[in-house]
Amino acid sequence: MDKVEILKKADSYIREEQNAFFRNQVQELIDKNDLEELSERFYKELDFGTGGLRGEIGGGYNRMNSFTVSKATQGLAAYMVKNVKEEERIAVISYDSRNFSDTFSEEAALVLAGNGIKTYLFTGLRPTPVLSFAVRELGATAGIMVTASHNPAKYNGYKVFWSDGAQVTPPHDSGIIKEVRAVGDGIKKISREEAVRKGLLIMIDSEVDVPYEKMVVSQTLRPELVKERGKDLKIVYTPLHGAGNIPVNNALKKMGISVFTVPEQAEPDGDFPTVAFPNPEISEAMALALKYGKEEHADLIMGTDPDSDRLGIAVPDKGDFRLVTGNQLGALLADYIFRTRKELGTLPSNGAFINTIVTSDLQIKIAEAYGLKTFKVLTGFKYIGLKIREFEEKDNYEYIFGGEESYGFLVGTAARDKDAVSAATMTAEMALWNVTQGRSVLDHLNEIYSKYGYYEEALISNYFEGQQGAAIMDGLMAQLRSDSPESFGGLKVREIIDYKDGSTKYTEEGRKEQNIDLPSSNVLQFILEDGSLITVRPSGTEPKIKFYASCCEKPGMELDKAKAGTAAKIKAIEVQVNEMVRKAAE
């Protein structure tokens, strides 16, 4: 893009942006003649994808700001006006602790009100699962959650939910995208005072908080155990400066469980001053919680991300604490929930378990052992929500539990997105149950490995920012399709699954079949000769490409030997993948 085009777009943005902070940001760049930064902000528009928006906060068409939020909301409003009966045009909006989240949520509310859509707006920050629950509780057609999940502080985002409480899926996602792209200068917005006066903006809090908390606590499978022994379990918890503090603490304390909240990370703060990445998946983010866990002699350490839809944990291990991966926690929760419900006689014959194509197959083995029907869906929790809706519409399966490797789990169906609050209470109950059985959570995990085989996973992520980064990732995916590796880590590739065209290539036989019945997605999977699995996908929410490696050993192998074998496989795969990425970036 040449200088004239850049400045033309920048001038146009300044005229359209009503927020002085973002408008002045761009004007300062123009005054400094910073064409490189202006190019990054205007070389494209921030794309409204199938789940909404996510990007760096700042002025410009390729940034999260008041204008991009109002434009996205106008598109959503136009879609609702065209496709939803007038009396059913109701929306709910919530937001987390990120910078400008409250500004963006009010901007969205006033645009919806300007289009005659009745909108409920929370008086303060709430987790994503509370927004999902609120959509269903209030009978709304749509929901908006202003969050960038676990991304660094410079990001914010905007997720759209539909009437079932799940993030939008076909046909609504593509329909909304079409309307967003068609928005010109016709953004309709009214003042807060007018919206309130007309009954189009209604502030909410306890009318959703109370039933949500009641729902979370009601998920308890062994209420008598929790009532009698809950006080014996000590938890250290961190909300990582996010929205989880109040709901997680309230639910656990109502169950009689003692909680110590990390004081430095208890208050909401969009700058996330104590962590680079507010993500409970990574050890650095959990460092303070681990420190207090040792000091407080905790039985369990838990952390939630800023919008409290992801849960990470650590458990005691020989005088220290060990972080548990998302795949491992998913296996522990699945085994505990299915085992308990079977013992109690509440596990239905048509029970279903759902996880994603990049999540450990160990969980599938556990579900099948308890007689559950298992389903794999594309990455993204909205596909789990979609599957639950299909079960209800067809009345053929009853959802019991589901999750994804990135620390997202859903207990029950009152919410339709991953719910770290419910996952936290169920994890606490699982840990307490293990204590009463005279064993640790790690003993429970090792029992699972002995029964089903040892599994180990690794995520290899490489960031590629900006225009050049997008081109590198596109080139790498194209190369993997046109010149696929014959092996990974010394193990031959047996099958190549391409979710973009729905095909499976059988390398030894040299044949290809169209046999994948899932929506098209830019994902490749390589199944290796020993059953190990490599999955490659560009992230839909961050500027990075992800390689998921899952390796396993068969049941019965001595645990230390199985761990050594899988670790060696993963190490060899990581070396090859990193070299592959390095060459692609040259």
Catalytic annotation, residues: 149
Question: At 16, is the secondary structure helix, strand, or coil?
Answer: helix
Which among 479, 497, 496, 477 is positioned nearest to 547, based on CA atoms?
A: 477
Q: Is the dihedral of CA 538, 543, 545, 551 positive or negative?
A: negative
Task: Please measure the distance between the N-terminal and C-terminal CA atoms of the chain and give it in whole angstroms.
Answer: 23
3-state secondary structure 211-248: HHHHHHHHCCCCHHHHHHHHHHCEEEEECCCCCCHHHH
Contacts of 223 (CB under 8 A, 6+ apart): none
- Distance between CA 24 and CA 29 in Å, rounded? 9
Q: Show the tokens assigned to 537.
A: 């996908």
Q: At what angle do helices 206-218 and 128-137 cross, to 10 degrees?
A: 100
Q: Is the dihedral of CA 324, 330, 334, 335 positive or negative?
A: negative
Q: Show the tokens assigned to 393.
A: 């519409």
Which among 12, 22, 196 is positioned nearest to 104, based on CA atoms?
A: 22
In this structure, are residues 53 and 69 in contact, taking their beta carbons and an 8 Å threshold?
yes
CA distances from 101 to 94, 105, 125 (A): 9, 6, 9
Give me the DSSP letters along 108-141. HHHHHHHTT-EEEEESS---HHHHHHHHHHTT-S
**Maximum Cα–Cα distance across the chain:** 72
In this structure, are residues 309 and 417 in contact, taking their beta carbons and an 8 Å threshold?
yes
Please count the CA atoms within 13 angstroms of the CA of 410 that sit on its side-chain side: 32
Which among 399, 388, 376 is positioned nearest to 550, based on CA atoms?
A: 376
- Distance between CA 280 and CA 283 in Å, rounded? 7
Give me the DSSP letters along 298-364. -SEEEEE-TTS--EEEEEEETTEEEEEPHHHHHHHHHHHHHHHHHHHT---TTEEEEEETTS-HHHH
Strand (E) or helix (H) holding 528 = strand 524-528
Query: How open is the CA angle 408-218-328, to the nearest 5 degrees?
Result: 30
- Distance between CA 145 and CA 94 in Å, rounded? 5
